[in-house]
Structure 1
Amino acid sequence: MTLFMGNNLYTHPYKHLRGARTVFCALVCVVLCIALVAPKQALADLYTVEGVEVDVTAKNALEAREKAFKEAQVKAYKMLSERLVNSGEQDAVKELDTESISYMVQDFEVTKEQLSAKRYKGTYTIRFRPDSFRQQVIQQGQSYSDIPRGAVLVLPFYQTGSNTILWDNTNPFLSAWSRSREINGQIASTVVPIGDIEDVSQINEFSPLNYDPVKLERMRDRYGANEVSIILASPEVSITGISNVRLSLYHAKIRGPEFSGQMIVQGQAGETSAQLYDRVVSKIKQRYKSDWKQETSVASMDTQSFQAVMNFTSVREWIDAKQKLERVPGMASVIVNRLTPREASMSLNYHGDAQRLNTALGRSGLMLGQAGNGYQPVYRILRAMPQYQQPAPQVNAPNNQTPYNNPYNRSYYQ
């Protein structure tokens, strides 16, 4: 902007910023157009059911194939319901006809098939439309969770008396975890360390509840896990001579191990040690999924609007952050209200409350912070720090909590 002041020519001091602002806005527009078509891969994986096997016989091969596809859709719907619907509500999930289920199917893929004159045997991958499935669940009166917990790094210790082992090949608990197979798209998945030299140097197997949080964080990061769980498996023999396994579960936190519960898996007559520990692993996985779904479930399609601001240092950083926000499970829309070269103000329309939103953001390396109060609170979106960099919270238990006892005669609080 140029002004004439008497005989002097005056140039507005912000003129040199105009070009920078124009370039910034142009870059944002271009990259945003690309970002708008980016698929929500995490959600797509969660609503994809793989390994749907069917075996059908009919009058001819064509009829058998058509019948098989219908059965595959029904079976996939049941598998997806088991994955996402709260464990205590799965028995109430209504059986739907093929036409109703087909409406929810986005696409499918035949990964393996065998044909004969009157028989069709095939394996399908079926992808469901997230909004259609969620709406169906809500209409039936159930709640669901579509926030992936992410991988849990499991450290399976075997305890006999006062002795514990982890890396030894005589550890039946570790062997059972190694045999366990993960299925893609799970709401809560697990991973166990391979036990190489690097792993052995990070964890002291003779003192599982005393660990270096920095070393543990390195191991967690190495295996791409979101959290670490320490599990002590102690064999017991009942009065009938049947072997049982007592399990003590801990969350490995920066402040130290946090007791999360105890469970006993009873052995069965004629069962081998390997079979028993395979069932133990299956029970633990079921618990992980059930606890997580209970914590993050939602029973409504209604959305809440959260006002939020976020700082960034570059266009690329802002675009990456916005893409993460749009891919957050349960996020209906991200509306940008104001954008400057260093800050964005936006409305987050989300299926769930602030706690569920914060949990979902945490899966993407983000978190909610309070930015300001008022009639409608404004949140600040922050980047979550690695656990070992966060300040350790107080470990004193509140007055209304009692310490849990554990095999090491130490007290931890849930």
Structure 2
Amino acid sequence: MKPSITLAVTAKAAKLKAAGVDVISFGAGEPDFDTPVHIKAAVHAALDQPGIGKYTDVTGILPLRKAIAAELSAVHHVAIEPDQVLVSTGAKHSLYNLFMALLDPGDEVLIPAPYWVSYPDMVMLAGGRPVILETRAEDDFAVTAAQVREACGPRTRAIVLNNPSNPTGAVYARKQVEALAEVAVEKDLLVFSDDIYRQLVYGDAAYHSIAAIGPDIARRTILVDGASKTYAMTGWRIGYTAAPLPLIKAMTKIQGQSTSNPSHISQVAALAALTGPQDCVAEMRRAFNERRLTMVKLLRAIPGVACREPKGAFYAFPDVSAYLGKKSPEGHILDDDVKLCDWLVEVGKVAVVPGSGFGAPGFVRLSYACSMQDIEVGVGRLGKALAQLS
């Protein structure tokens, strides 16, 4: 099992900043906005109420599960009951519970690459085997139904669909989702639908729920979502799963024997997020869109860097393979993206995440969930640093 490369890059940049080094970090997948005021106000009010801060039901407080069930039912056009919802300590925890509950030793899970760094390791922790499906930049990093069909074997249990994608920002068109739904039904696959970025979609792109395609695929789809990205609530650690009741009961047993309930006050915050005003989401989305366009424009201006336009989430994923194998002014050969990224943070004073951690060597991930000033100065530093390589 490998350490999370995104957390490692973020920690390294933070350590340098703490030492007084002027580093601009594009590493963390975390909105730079504060948690919206009405959410914090609800928490302040709740703290004065009796019973807040106690254990809750392992699955989460009922008002929150009702709110989650109502929202997911509306988004995915399926009927979800509160007892089909499990609230966990972040969507990462939700996914971990899911893999642990569903996979037997040797079960295979199809994972399109580039992928979020933790999917393969979570599968392996549960005794499963990740099967990586390579995608291409020229296809906007979308896996095809034909690839899924060809990769299926007797032990294939499920496919992970992260839409929009971390790290690429890819968003699947409806026809692509329909084709994936068709092959999932044909091959009797479960779909682990990681929708944590579904409200962060830009331009003419739109989020299309695979569960909404029809009842056959809806029965095979497990929905994973959370408050972290949409409401700038990463540190509150609230994620949730919606699934058939037998699976939720199995996941609840695992959670009950490991972490028990998620933080009570964080659940109060999540309830306020889901049931309160949603204009904060639109405001953050507008800001992310402006930053997205600026970052892509600046990256494309760097000689030798190719960058597809991300349609969702808050990441750009440029190809920097033209710079691999080049020599730094200090005389080091930077022959892979990890060495390149280490040199960039140490010498260029800009932190980006190597694509190899996402199953895509030669690429790097930059988060535009930061200020416009950081984007302009940081991408400028990136270009100047790369120009020093020979």
Q: Pick the structure with greater CA Rg.
A: 1
> Where is the strand percentage greater, Structure 1 or Structure 2?
1
Same fold (TM over 0.5): no
**TM-score (normalised: structure 1):** 0.22
Q: Which has the higher contact order (CA 8 A, sep 6+)?
A: 2
> Where is the helix percentage greater, Structure 1 or Structure 2?
2
